[in-house]
């Protein structure tokens, strides 16, 4: 499971020129489920994100988490994070989870973030979306959670 976290002062996602979800200060989260990802990884990823200290404290140091500053999360599915580009010029997305599985894990992830007390807005899984954001900092952090060992 991969995500790209962007600390934002505001963000929104549009579908067919209609705002589907928007937030003020918080995190823009691009989410990608990969083949082999397990539901247990969703919870670990959500907790990790909720505790990540990437928001400024009173001294301007990244010392606060999204919960500390009452931030929100805009979560958008992004299968292209699974792109493999080592061969040729056309990315391969074979590592992405199948659409039905990807949607299931995406929805579980959105609920997991919400259950931690973080207000959540979303795009629409599989839709053609336009994302607008103001990256605060800028702060952009890739994060990956591997499936737990069997």
Catalytic residue among 80, 124, 130, 140, which?
80
pLDDT per position as a tens digit, 26-35: 999 999 999 9
Quote the CA–CA distance of 115 and 110 in Å, as a whole number. Answer: 9
Catalytic residue among 6, 31, 55, 79, which?
79
Confidence of residue 146 (pLDDT cuts 50, 70, 90): confident
- 78 an active-site residue? yes
Domain boundaries in the chain? 2-132
Average pLDDT for 81-87 = 93
Q: pTM, whole model, 2 decimals?
A: 0.94
CATH topology of domain 2-132: 3.50.80
Catalytic residue among 6, 31, 78, 122, which?
78
Confidence of residue 100 (pLDDT cuts 50, 70, 90): very high
pLDDT per position as a tens digit, 106-129: 999 999 999 999 999 999 999 999
């Amino acid at each position: 499971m991969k995500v790209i976290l962007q600390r934002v002062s505001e963000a929104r996602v549009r579908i067919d020129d209609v705002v589907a979800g928007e937030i003020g200060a918080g995190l823009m989260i691009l989410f990608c489920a990969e083949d082999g990802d397990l539901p247990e990884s969703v919870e670990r990823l959500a907790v990790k994100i909720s505790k990540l200290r990437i928001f400024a404290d009173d001294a301007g140091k990244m010392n606060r988490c999204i919960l500390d500053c009452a931030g929100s999360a805009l979560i958008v599915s992004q299968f292209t994070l699974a792109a493999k580009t080592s061969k040729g010029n056309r990315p391969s997305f074979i590592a992405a989870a199948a659409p039905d599985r990807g949607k299931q894990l995406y929805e579980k992830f959105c609920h997991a973030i919400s259950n931690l007390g973080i207000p959540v807005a979303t795009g629409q899984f599989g839709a053609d979306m336009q994302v607008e954001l103001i990256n605060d900092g800028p702060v952009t952090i890739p994060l990956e959670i591997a499936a737990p060992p069997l």
